[in-house]
Amino acid sequence: MQVTETLAEGLRRELKVTVPAADLEADVEGRLDELRRTVTMKGFRRGKVPLSIVRRHYQPRVLGEVLQQTIETRSREIMEERALRPAMQPEIEITAYDEGKDLEFTMGMEILPAIELGEFSDLTVTRLRAEVSDDAVDDALNRLAEADKRFEPVAEPRPAQEGDQILVDIAVEVGGEPAPDRSGTDVPMELGEDALMPEIASQLVGAEAGEERAVTIEPPEAGAEADAPAEIPSLADTVFKVTVKEVRERQPVTVDDAFAEQRGAKDVDELRGVIRQQIEEHYEHASGARLKRSMLDALDERHQFDVPPGMVEREFDAIWQQVENDAKNANVDIAEALDQPEEEAREEFRQIAERRVRLGLLIAEIGTANDITVEQDDLYRAAMASARGHPNPQGLFQYLQSNPEALERFRPTVFEDKVIAFLSELATVSDEVVDAETLLSDPEEDERPQTAARATADADEAATAGADEDTGKSESTGEGESA
């Protein structure tokens, strides 16, 4: 086998590979001989079919298999011998081959950069912390009471007003014909900003018990209704005949021991303690997230190296896809959604993508160099923590046990967190007490690194990548979570 490097520019490598025809023929003959020993054909005993007949029937298929296997094996050998660490699967193309002649193919790839890791004991980072104040507990308790909505019929008849709840029967007509499948009886409807059906509720403010109102809804702007599923009738032909049966007013909630007992606490003091603990956990989580950001900023400042353009492009594409989806959901163009020209936004997000890839590669390198691994128990803990408050934790745990692939989505984040924890043990971490608003405020930009798993998944797959069976070109199939 002859290997010639045709390009070595930055992180880009291209090679030309020639495999002698004699090597291919030897592999084909060996494979045909294996088949001869096992194949069955009419008129011959098993293992006694002449090689010439096996060749006539099976050589085209065997030749394709040998070409595929040769390219995969030789590509892997070349990368191992030259210590090439491809960032993504190599681009492989057969450039010349005729039966009985040499095989020529090219390999193109971006390689992972060499990253020099220094000492981390001189890292200095700040961890923000906040104390849980009595006011914060009071606010949370009041919000809990505010969410406890109980309504009773009004003592004296009066028109419904915002904040009330009304009990109604709704008879829907579409095109003048009754639509019983869309109608309902004894439907509780809250009026005001919390209404579930604001277009209808807003037209029922001022209604009294026993009153019937015909409500219509303005159809969406031209073209918008065309996007609705065909089975949904046009709003222009829909009338909601609403009969108000009862007007109810909200009852004040007293935060007392009875209120606490309804929430599983023996008294208000115990409920306050539970709330305080929950806020402390929330603050601790936010503190850890801010420490992680501080650590990543410190790492970014001291490690500058080229990153594979293909990885940056893929990360940018993932970011930009989300930007486009958000703009589409908001029914605005990208410039309006981001409040800046699209080209300017693209450049900023491309810089973010490069930072994410660089930090992802760096975190992966630190983890590998220090034998940091993610165990199954780590994934279970992460999964259960993310599902805190799940109505059926035992059922969730059983599901994860029987579907281990569902746990894998937690691996990148768990790995990153373990690397950050490792670095925090080495670095000088100083605590700074701040108010809750500062602790909980979001950074100006979300520049989380590309996950370590994503940053290395392509490299892992590239090391064992083969060519596509039909085209002779390999395709990247690496997967990882978008950061």
Distance in angstroms (rounded) separating the CA atoms of residues 430 and 316: 34
Interval 367-376 mean pLDDT: 94
DSSP-assigned beta bridge partners for residue 190? 165
Interval 438-449 mean pLDDT: 65
DSSP-assigned beta bridge partners for residue 72? none
Confidence of residue 453 (pLDDT cuts 50, 70, 90): very low
Domain with CATH 3.10.50.40 in the chain: 151-250
Read off the tokens for 464. Answer: 């064992």
Please write the tens of the pLDDT for every residue from 171-197.
999 888 888 888 899 999 999 877 788
Confidence of residue 477 (pLDDT cuts 50, 70, 90): very low
Confidence of residue 469 (pLDDT cuts 50, 70, 90): very low
Q: Which residue has the tokens 């604001």?
A: 198
User: C-alpha distances in angstroms, 335 versus 77, 345, 352, 445?
Assistant: 49, 8, 18, 17
How many CA atoms does the CB half-sphere of 131 hold within 13 Å? Answer: 4
Q: What local confidence, expressed as pLDDT, does residue 443 receive?
A: 63
224 pLDDT higher than 80:
no
Q: What local confidence, expressed as pLDDT, does residue 125 receive?
A: 93
Q: Point out the least confidently predicted range of 178-182, 293-297, 315-319, 439-443.
A: 439-443
Interval 122-127 mean pLDDT: 92
Distance in angstroms (rounded) separating the CA atoms of residues 478 and 268: 53
Pairing of strands 428-433, 124-129: parallel
Secondary structure of 108-146 as H, E, C letters: EEEECCCCCCCCCCCCEEEEEECCCCHHHHHHHHHHHHH
Whether 461 and 421 have beta carbons less than 8 Å apart is answered as no
Q: Point out the least confidently predicted range of 93-97, 166-170, 247-251, 453-457.
A: 453-457
Average pLDDT, the chain: 85
Confidence of residue 457 (pLDDT cuts 50, 70, 90): very low
Does this model's pTM top 0.85? My answer is no
Distance in angstroms (rounded) separating the CA atoms of residues 452 and 361: 6
33 pLDDT higher than 90:
no
From the list 446, 443, 451, the residue with the least C-alpha distance to 482 is: 451
Q: Point out the least confidently predicted range of 19-23, 222-226, 275-279, 343-347.
A: 222-226
Whether 30 and 12 have beta carbons less than 8 Å apart is answered as no
Domain with CATH 3.30.70.1050 in the chain: 2-110
Confidence of residue 461 (pLDDT cuts 50, 70, 90): very low
CATH class of the domain defined by 124-134+263-450 = mainly alpha
Q: What dihedral do alpha carbons 28, 34, 38, 41 form, nearest 10°?
A: 30
Read off the tokens for 413. Answer: 């984040």
Q: What local confidence, expressed as pLDDT, does residue 447 receive?
A: 45
DSSP-assigned beta bridge partners for residue 189? 166
To the question of domain 2-110 being in CATH 3.10.20.30, the answer is: no
Helices (H), 370-470: 376-386, 393-402, 411-426, 436-440, 452-462
Domain with CATH 1.10.3120.10 in the chain: 124-134+263-450
Q: What local confidence, expressed as pLDDT, does residue 32 receive?
A: 84
Q: Burial of 187 by CB count in 10 Å (0-12 exposed, 13-18 middle, 19+ buried)?
A: middle
Distance in angstroms (rounded) separating the CA atoms of residues 406 and 332: 35
394 pLDDT higher than 80:
no
Whether 361 and 112 have beta carbons less than 8 Å apart is answered as yes
120 pLDDT higher than 70:
yes
Select 151-250's CATH number: 1.10.4080.10, 3.40.50.720, 3.40.50.1240, 3.10.50.40.
3.10.50.40
Please write the tens of the pLDDT for every residue from 321-359.
999 999 999 888 899 888 999 999 999 999 999 999 999
Interval 111-140 mean pLDDT: 93
448 pLDDT higher than 60:
no
